[in-house]
Amino acid sequence: MTMLHRPESLDEACMLLAELDDAQVYGGGTAIEILRRQGILFTEDLVDVSRIPELRAVETGPDGVRAGAMVPVRRMETDPAIRRAVPLAARTYGHVANPRVRNTATVGGNVAHGDYRLDPPTALLVLDATIEARSVRGPRSLAVREFFTGFQETALEHDEVITAITVPAQPTDAVGRFVKMSSLSANDWPSASAAALLTTEDGRRTLHLGLGALAPVPVHLSLDVSGMPTERAVSEAMAAAEPLMDPIPDVRGSSDYKRRLGLVAVREAATDVCEERTHA
Amino acid sequence: MLDQRSSENPADNTTSPASPGLSAVGSRRRRVDPAGRVRGRVTHVGDVDPGSTSTAHVALHRSTRPHARIRSVEVDEALAIDGVQAVVTGADLYAALGEHVLTGPAFQDQPAMAYDRVRYVGEPVAAVIATDLATARAATESVHVDYEDLEAVYDVDDALTGRAFVHDELRPSAVFGDLRHLNGVRDTNVNYEFRLARGDTDAVETAATGVQRRFWCPPTHHVPMELPCTVAWVEGNRLEMLTTTQTPSYVRQTVADMLRLPLSDVQVRTRPLGGSFGSKMYDRLEPLAAAIAWVLRRKVRVVASREEAFLLTTRHGARVTSAMRADADGDLVAATADIIYDTGAYADVGPRITGKSGMVASGPYRIPNVSIRSRCVYSNKPSAGPFRGFGVPQVTWSHESLIDELARRTGEDPYAYRRRHLLREGDVAAMGTVMHSADFTGCLDAVAEAVDWANPPERGEGRWRRGQGIAVGVKAVLTPTVSNAVLQLNQDASASLLISTVEMGQGSDTIMAQIVAEVLRIDSHRVHVVPADTDVTPYDTITAGSRSTYHTGNAVRLVAEQMRERLLALAAEQSGVPAGELRLTEEGISGSGHPEPLRVEDVVLRHFRARGTTLTCASNFTTDWVPYDRNTGQSAKVTEHWFAGAVAVRAAVDTWTGRIRLEHLAVSGDVGKAINPFLVEQQLSGAAITGIGHALFDELVLDQGQFVNGTLLDYQLPSLGDMPDRLTPIIVESPHRTGPFGAKGVGETGILAVAPAIANALRDAVGVRLTELPLTAERVLNAIERKRAEESPQESRQQSPQESQEGNQ
Amino acid sequence: MSRISLVVDGNRYVAEITDSALLLDVLREQAGATGVREGCGVGACGACTVLVDGVSVSSCLALAERYDGARITTASGLPADDEVVESFVECGATQCGYCIPGFVMMAHELLTENPEPDKEDVVRHLDGNICRCGTYAEIRRAVLAAAEKRRAR
């Protein structure tokens, strides 16, 4: 029988996670309900963290955004302050599934799910976000660039709960773009996605790329494109991204086809940021 | 995206020009209870007491093997679970009902639950009966089956050449009498073979140009949004059920046969269906629910989850190896086709599909020499059955790709080339039947004009290339069939129509009311159509195959005409004016000598001398056919009438990703006469949208007989984002001499030609010919790359080496 | 088992539920809200969409326990003169109608957030809903018409 535990504080949640043999943190639940239905997830003890007020907090400032783990994905997309501080992240969150799922799914659950096809990690990687987690052993921070460790695997310990994600402010002169490509119906999971951010610091132009659905984990890379015309920067970006792609073949396409879609995604995203086109 | 002709003329409650005030034949009136539909207040079968505690909830333990003998079924662990009341196995049902537990429209091959052998992954083996659905579903995990694996048949090649057989012998059912000669045939997976021979295709050696290809349409699923649900119970010694079916009359007969009850002791009721498209027909949940209810003497409720619904039926995957040839003048001289329909573990109506679709495999063209072989084969996969189009989209995919290629080969415009070969009124088609009311040229012209065919798009040179494609389809209406209608005229001049046609979104309740209204000169909103209930509504073959408007519509027209004569006779009696001089109008019954019309209300009141009384009439409409010759497929009348449909497409192709974008899709259908033009347009565009899915991405993927994408997270369906930029449904009306007001059906017409029209636009845009559906972006991109690799850089885009070779065959 | 209370279309219900009960089943079985329908069970079709305090939710993916005290609106509970319902009726935006209440709820959310949507906005917001009868053109027209109707009132 499923047991739903509903702690009202982080300490209580951490205690439960430490005490129970095989407990599962329950955030928005959109992924968990699907996995349970498919018989992939059997856990009987669910630790519902929706009653912990601090997990719902959003702080925005000149440094960026700190979003509690239980903040709905949809708020990341629509909150004006978040859109101002981290426009690339906000736009990328707006591509997750559909608005209903975005209303329920949470910032913390999204990354904890660890699915290689998810959209937000591509932007979080590019923006160098940090994930905050807690357990009975105390809090710790994990760089999102080190968070995804394998297919459906993250660096999170089984007794840890994500408490927040911190996204550093996107430099005001940086240009971001997210491109998502499906290979079958329009509203399907992506077969390739790419988030691109072009930053300029002391005359040095750096192109940051985050790739989704193109390897067992979301992938990040950066390259120096100082002084390069768009065409050259884009081809360098494609050349740098290609060896990092290792797509999983499935009903949506072969590995080879997904790699080619991935290159188109990189090409489009990189071209647009180099040409300063930021449309969603 | 929308360019429906109706855009400035949506559904409304205004009147037809011919019958002002009545919303009768020709009116674009809204469908029955539109606000109820929009608000979700229309009740479907699954909405009746979904959490009922007095009903036992059934969940099924399903086979994990594609083909295996059942050694034993262990149920004790499941029975020990709190809330589980009983577990019934296939063997239990077999013990109670014997061979009667086997049902099926073509072959009596499908057990309500597997008892000795499982034939596909997902076949029910045991039913857990519990206090609630969640408990029942969870407990199915605690049923354990010991299997002895058998060699499995996974595809059409295995079926034709392998040593494994899905069934030991063929066992024709009592439903389709013409399959009797197959009784007892052993050691084959081919359960039916249709042959058509006209002229002599072998003699056509001199053909100047020919195209030959092998085509593939994968299995797909209907995915109506409503999940299948059956509630069955025993009342006295009767079996009663409420179920999601398009075939209540068939289900009644099947259950009566299974339980050996007189028809009067079986009641099958339906509610409006939340879509079906052929999926809720024949033997789905009903035999199983009836058998369990009968054995346990309990009210049971079976509802399929979405994942289970995928297992209940599919559309036939089909391979078509075909050729078309033309002489030096470009005239079509010969067509051949070898078709294999994969019907899965149980035949369902596979044999019917094989024959009725095989016979149109050469298309709606004048071709003197035609040779067709069409076979239906068993395999160890979920059973395939009818799906909007009844196997015809699979052969249309073949003939419309071939003729397009042939046109290009002969240097003619694909539209003009089709046009000069299309069958015209009075022509004899390949199977020997004369064409009537099948306006192929009208349909083709309409879509060509809509997409401005004469001014083709600039092909372009960069990432995006553009092209246009066109295709036409032909399908026969289900024949022979039987329809009945009972009409009660209420004393207040409203009417209740009793028919067994099932409303499932196609709008039958609305248009049948319009037919009654037209004849009786009353507002169609005053005609109530009673949902199918075999205790009350009379026999009707099925609600499928686009047959209802014509067949049931004719029965309804006839019963309304009878009622009109009855009223006139009563009025004659009451007024002394001869009936022949009286007329029924909107105002009532009037005659030359009677300026003041008699109100219908008063005529009925005077007749019975009571308020609230009813006048009742009944009628029948039956069509007949000449069965086709077993060797030549020839029949002087193979069908009551034909559907003609055409599609034209303007598409853009992304040469970076292979994605096809539909800029404009026009779909036309000859419906004889549109009883309700708005609903006809919805049928045309709705069918086209389903066809777009089939063309671009919709496909059931199986691996070793197991579904890979059998959930809506993975199975692909068109949504708003997949709509063409413009979609234009076009009604063509070539009245049928015996249709009600000239009408024929429309449900399937719009789907027939969609996939080939899109493939032909792809061919036009980038010069590649794909023969496998769906036209996924990956397939398109690979084909573009192959073509690039084959061509030397300076070569023109005219012909690939492969094509030139074939041109010499 | 626990007890929750829900306000569904203005009426208050108390429901006995297990910890794993889904909001969809509780609404259908204990609040009589059968216009909320299961189509896929995985949040991919939208037939079970309800508004919780004005926000769209796939009730097939929602644990009922978390909605204790929530105010839930279904298409059945919309006011008599609701612009979205009226526009769907006027535009003929139904065939079998099974999925339509879900589209209506998504349209409501969209119009609350964006009173002047264009065609692309409608596609973006409603693209996660499936109408297998293929009523998309009529649906899109109806949503745009509802927006206009609202602005005129």
Decide if C46 touches A, using CB distance below 8 A: yes
pLDDT tens digits, B305-358: 999 999 999 999 999 999 999 999 999 999 999 999 999 999 999 999 999 999
Rounded-to-integer distance, Cα B791 and Cα B293, Å:
66
Rounded CA-CA distance B490/B600 in Å is 10
User: What DSSP letter does each residue of B366-427 carry, written as one string?
Assistant: --SEEEEEEEEEE-SSS-EE--TTTTHHHHHHHHHHHHHHHHHHTT--HHHHHHHHB--TT-
Please check the confidence at residue B804 and state whether its pLDDT lies above 60: no
Q: Are residues B638 and B762 in the same domain?
A: yes
Judgement on whether residues B675 and B779 belong to the same structural domain of the protein: yes
pLDDT given for residue A224 in this prediction: 98
Q: Is the pLDDT of residue B550 over 80?
A: yes
pLDDT at B11: 56
Cβ–Cβ contact A186 with C under 8 A: yes
pLDDT band, very low/low/confident/very high, at B174 (cuts 50, 70, 90): confident
Which residues form the domain of B762?
314-478+628-803
Q: B6 with B22: CB under 8 angstroms?
A: no
- The reply to whether B81 and B226 lie within a common domain is yes
Same domain, B306 and B350: no
Does B696 reach chain A within 8 Å, measured CB to CB? yes
CA distance A41 to chain B (A): 14
Domain boundaries, chain A: 52-168, 175-274
Contacts of C46 in chain B (CB under 8 A): none
Angle between helical axes of B350-358 and B392-409 (0-180°, round to 10): 30
Q: What CATH number corresponds to the domain at position B95?
A: 3.90.1170.50
Residue B740 lies in a domain: yes
Could you say which of B603, B622, B641 is where a domain stops?
B622
Pairing of strands C2-8, C71-73: parallel
Kind and range of the H or E run holding B314: strand B314-315
- Span of B11-15, B254-258, B606-610, C132-136 with lowest mean pLDDT: B11-15
Test mutation, B310, B656, B723, B780, chain A, max A CBs within 10 A: B656
The partner residues of A222 in beta bridges, in order of sequence, read: A208
CA distances from A129 to A53, A167, B471 (A): 22, 4, 53
Q: Render B433-497 in DSSP notation, one character per residue.
A: PBP-S--HHHHHHHHHHHTTTTSPPP--SSSEEEEEEEEEEEEEPP-S-EEEEEEEEETTS-EEE
Calpha distance A151→B492 (Å, rounded) = 71
Domain boundaries, chain C: 2-76, 83-152
Residue C133's closest CA among B226, B317, B646, B285?
B226
Query: B460-506, pLDDT tens digit by residue?
Result: 999 999 999 999 999 999 999 999 999 999 999 999 999 999 999 99
Q: Nearest to residue B681, comparing CAs of A105, C135, C76?
A: C135
B690 CB within 8 Å of a chain C CB: yes
For residue A276, the model assigns a pLDDT of: 85
Domain boundary among B289, B312, B335: B312
> How far apart are the C-alpha atoms of B118 and B121, rounded to whole Å?
8
Q: CB–CB of B232/B299 below 8 Å?
A: yes
If one compares B208 and B719, the residue with the highest pLDDT of the two is: B719
Choose the final residue of a domain: B606, B622, B638.
B622
User: Mean pLDDT throughout B510-522?
Assistant: 98
In a domain, B168, yes or no: no
CA distance A280 to C22: 34
**Whole-number average pLDDT of chain C:** 97
Six-digit token string for B347:
């035949």
- What's the per-residue H, E or C state across B702-737? EECCEECCCCCCCCCCCCHHHCCCEEEEEEECCCCC
> B776 and A34: CB-CB below 8 Å?
no
A193 interaction partners in chain B (CB closer than 8 Å): none
Element (H, E) at A265: helix A255-274
What ranges in A94-228 are assigned the alpha helix state H? 99-104, 107-113, 120-126
Specify whether the CB–CB gap between B681 and B761 falls below 8 A: no
Using a CB-CB distance cutoff of 8 angstroms, which residues of chain A are in contact with residue B711? 38
Compute the distance between CA of residue A184 and CA of residue B719 in angstroms, rounded to an integer.
11
Note the pLDDT tens digit of each residue in B279-291.
Answer: 999 999 999 999 9
CATH code of A52-168, in short, is 3.30.465.10
What's the confidence (pLDDT) of residue B751? 98
Q: Which fold has domain A175-274?
A: Enolase-like; domain 1 (3.30.390)
Give the whole-number percent of chain C exceeding pLDDT 90. 99
- Digit-coded pLDDT (tens) for C39-87: 999 999 999 999 999 999 999 999 999 999 999 999 999 999 999 999 9
Average pLDDT over residues B156-182: 93
Instruction: For residue C51, list chain B residues with Cβ-Cβ distance below 8 A.
Output: none
Question: Is residue B440 in some structural domain?
Answer: yes
Across residues B415-420, what is the average pLDDT? 98
> Strand, helix or coil at A30?
helix
CB contacts of C46 in chain A (<8 Å) are: 98, 100
Tokens of A180: 């998502």
**How do the pLDDT tens digits run along chain A, 280 residues long?**
899 999 999 999 999 999 999 999 999 999 999 999 998 998 999 999 999 999 999 999 999 999 999 999 999 999 999 999 999 999 999 999 999 999 999 999 999 999 999 999 999 999 999 999 999 999 999 999 999 999 999 999 999 999 999 999 999 999 999 999 999 999 999 999 999 999 999 999 999 999 999 999 999 999 999 999 999 999 999 999 999 999 999 999 999 999 999 999 999 999 999 998 765 4
Would you state the structure tokens that stand for residue A129, as one six-digit string?
């976000």
- pLDDT value of residue B631: 95
CATH number, domain at B356?
Answer: 3.30.365.10
CA separation (Å) from B457 to B161, B271, B407, B651, B765? 47, 48, 19, 9, 9
Q: What is the chain C residue with the closest CA to A97?
A: C128
* pLDDT of B532 over the 50 cut: yes
- Say yes or no: A104 contacts chain C, CB-CB below 8 A: yes
List the end-to-end C-alpha distance of chain B, in Å, as a whole number: 44
Beta-bridge partner residues of B470: B648
pLDDT tens, residue by residue, B83-117: 999 999 999 999 999 999 999 999 999 999 999 99
Fold of C83-152: DNA polymerase; domain 1 (1.10.150)
CA angle at residue A163 from A162 to A164, to 5 degrees?
105
Per-residue model confidence (pLDDT) at position B808? 35
B753-761 mean pLDDT:
98
More confident residue, B20 or B33: B33
8 A C-beta contact, residue B344 and residue B311: no
Domains contained in chain B, number: 3
Whether domain C2-76 has CATH 2.60.40.1930: the reply is no
Residue B154: count of CB within 10 angstroms of its CB: 19
Residue by residue, DSSP assigns B529-580 as EEPPBTTTSPPBS-S-TT-TTTHHHHHHHHHHHHHHHHHHHHHHHHH-S-GG
pLDDT in tens, B243-261: 999 999 999 999 999 999 9
The answer, yes or no, to whether residue B800 has pLDDT greater than 80, is: no
Percent of chain B whose pLDDT exceeds 70: 95
Question: Six-digit token pair at B313?
Answer: 């039926």
Q: Which residues in A have their CB inside 8 Å of a CB on B?
A: 34, 38, 181, 183-189, 251, 253-254, 257, 260-261, 264, 267
Q: Is the minimum CB–CB distance between A251 and chain C shorter than 8 Å?
A: no
In a domain, B196, yes or no: no
List of chain C residues whose C-beta atoms are within 8 Å of the C-beta of residue A186: 127
Residues of chain B above pLDDT 90, percent: 92
B622 phi and psi, to 5 degrees?
A: -125, 135
Distant-in-sequence, close-in-space partners of B117: CB < 8 Å, separation ≥ 6:
B67, B68, B69, B70, B150
CB A155 within 8 A of CB A142: yes
Answer whether B675's CB lies under 8 Å from A199's CB: no
Residues pairing with B707 in the sheet: B702
Could you say which of C42, C58, C65 has the minimum Cβ distance to residue A104? C58
Nearest Cβ partner of C62 from A4, A104, A186? Answer: A104
Residue A144 to residues A71, A128, A129, A154, B766, Cα–Cα distance (Å): 17, 7, 6, 10, 43
- pLDDT number for residue B19: 59
Q: How confident is the model at residue B801 (pLDDT cuts 50, 70, 90)?
A: very low
Pick the closest to residue A158 from A106, A118, A218, A112 (CA basis): A112
